[in-house]
Amino acid sequence: MRETSLQDPRRLATVAALSCLLTALPGCVVHSIDPEAKPSVVENGEDEKTSGFVHAEKPAAKRETSGIWWRNFQDRGLDDLIETALAENPDVRAVGRRIDQANAKLVQAGATLFPQVDGSGEFQSRWDDSGVRGDNATLGLHLDWELDVWGRIRSGQSARKEEATAAFEDWQASRLLLTGAVAEAWFELSEQRGQLELVGEQIKVNRTLLELIRLRFGQGQSSVIDVLQQQEQLESTEALVPDIEARIGALELVIDTLTGQLPGSGTRFSKAADLSAPPRSPRTGYPSELLEERPDLRARRARILALDHEVGEAIADCLPRFSLGGSTALAGTPSLDRLVGDAIAGAVGPILDGGNRKAEVTRRRSRVAEELDRYTAEYLEAVRETETALLVESRLAERIRRQETQLVTARRLLAELRNRYGQGVPDYLPVLDALSKVQELERDLLTSRRERFSARVSLHRALGGPMPTLNR
């Protein structure tokens, strides 16, 4: 160990100057990162050949992403539920914790870019055989600093930064899934409440007809078969009520759970959504726009970039490492009157490792290729989901149009048959069949309208929202 006078620290100053010079040297680039990772089908130009996108809009216009998707429905009840769910759902909060963990890893990865300095202190007393006591005290600093000549540490830091970005996008994706689940549960609950009201009205109609037929039977104008047929129609309609009520209760429990409430303790809803017609369909844009709009695809791309940075980290690990180290301490007894220090500049590099480091580079390159394939698969699935939602909604719109036309005809037929039966035609079965058909069509039409709303929710989810832009 070298001892230096406290008033003459020139050698340590020389070491410090050398350290500053080395840190000013730029790191060598050992691996280039492609910041624009894309699915292979986009690179091959196959992306724009789909049929459902950019429908009824100017092809050159970019899809509008401002706003929040669920507010397009203009349903205050839905807005309140989703706001509560986003704030209180424990699953989404749990995913959000990963952002804090990823940010902590980012800080840790960047910490080694700077000198690691530790402090120490020691006081020692000794007695020899003659009982003479000797004291010694030291108070010092220890330096350990790896010089990131090849960018190994910076590559790791960049990888952790991309992982933090992916964690945030995962959180956004979980919020998107949650809002879609709440919306679907809300619209189905509204449908079931509408079904309960509709069935109640149908029960009233069936009871009125049953009373009229009983009156005609008492006057000898109809048979007991007519009475029993209408009685059976009434009872079959009444039998629908328990299942509808059970479904309403189950959906309320689902909404309680999604909004972070204890199931069964949430607020019961006095209002329901208007399912008569959904709002104007959003413009879908080009398929490649999904890469920027869907948070799950943004997360996948961030992970690809993180793995690509890790390739650079592995390549740099094959090269020599350079480091600076040293210590300085004040020592002496009874006062700290001596400056003691040492300085170390070191280098270490692989000579023989059995191909371990080279294999690690190969493994990480393969991981990048694997994630690119997964990215392509997820992108294709995103396009399929969007195309499917567009197709389903368009077919549902056609089904609703046909059901409405069919219901108008069925109601006219029922009215004519009831008039004929009232004029003395003895056969009640055609009236009963027409009545059953009308009531079934009414229930089916309500279900179709709700399914169209669900298809619209699926479309927004496939398009990535838009979700509100925010910082957690």
pLDDT in tens, 436-454: 999 999 999 999 999 999 9
The class of domain 37-112+159-319+365-463 in CATH terms is mainly alpha
Q: Where are the domains of the chain?
A: 37-112+159-319+365-463
Q: What is the rounded CA–CA span in Å between residue 233 and residue 206? A: 7
pTM value surpassing 0.75:
yes
The answer to whether residue 6 scores a pLDDT higher than 70 is: no
For residue 85, name the pLDDT band (cuts at 50, 70, 90): very high
DSSP 263-310: TT-SPPPS-----S---PPPP---GGGHHHH-HHHHHHHHHHHHHHHH
Residue partners of 406: CB distance under 8 A and separation at least 6: 441
How confident is the model at residue 336, as a pLDDT? 67
pLDDT in tens, 318-377: 888 888 888 887 777 767 667 777 888 888 888 888 889 899 899 999 999 999 999 999
How confident is the model at residue 23, as a pLDDT? 45
Calculate the alpha carbon distances from 441 to 187, 191, 435 in Å. 19, 14, 10
How confident is the model at residue 334, as a pLDDT? 66
Residue partners of 55: CB distance under 8 A and separation at least 6: 284, 390
The answer to whether residue 163 scores a pLDDT higher than 70 is: yes
The amino acid at 309: H
How confident is the model at residue 190, as a pLDDT? 94
Across 5-19, 232-246, 334-348, least confident range: 5-19
For residue 257, name the pLDDT band (cuts at 50, 70, 90): very high
Phi first, then psi: what are they for 321, rounded to 5°?
-105, 140
Averaged pLDDT score across all residues of the chain: 84
pLDDT over 70 percentage in the chain: 85
CA 309 remoteness from chain centre: 24
Q: What is the rounded CA–CA span in Å between residue 343 and residue 156? A: 27
Between 198 and 148, whose confidence is greater?
198
How confident is the model at residue 472, as a pLDDT? 62
Between 18 and 32, whose confidence is greater?
32
For residue 118, name the pLDDT band (cuts at 50, 70, 90): confident
Q: What is the rounded CA–CA span in Å between residue 151 and residue 316? A: 7
For residue 24, name the pLDDT band (cuts at 50, 70, 90): very low
The answer to whether residue 88 scores a pLDDT higher than 70 is: yes
Q: Which ranges in 130-270 belong to alpha helices (H)?
A: 152-218, 224-238, 240-258
How confident is the model at residue 237, as a pLDDT? 93
Q: Are 19 and 328 in contact (CB under 8 A)?
A: no
How confident is the model at residue 47, as a pLDDT? 54
pLDDT in tens, 395-413: 999 999 999 999 999 999 9
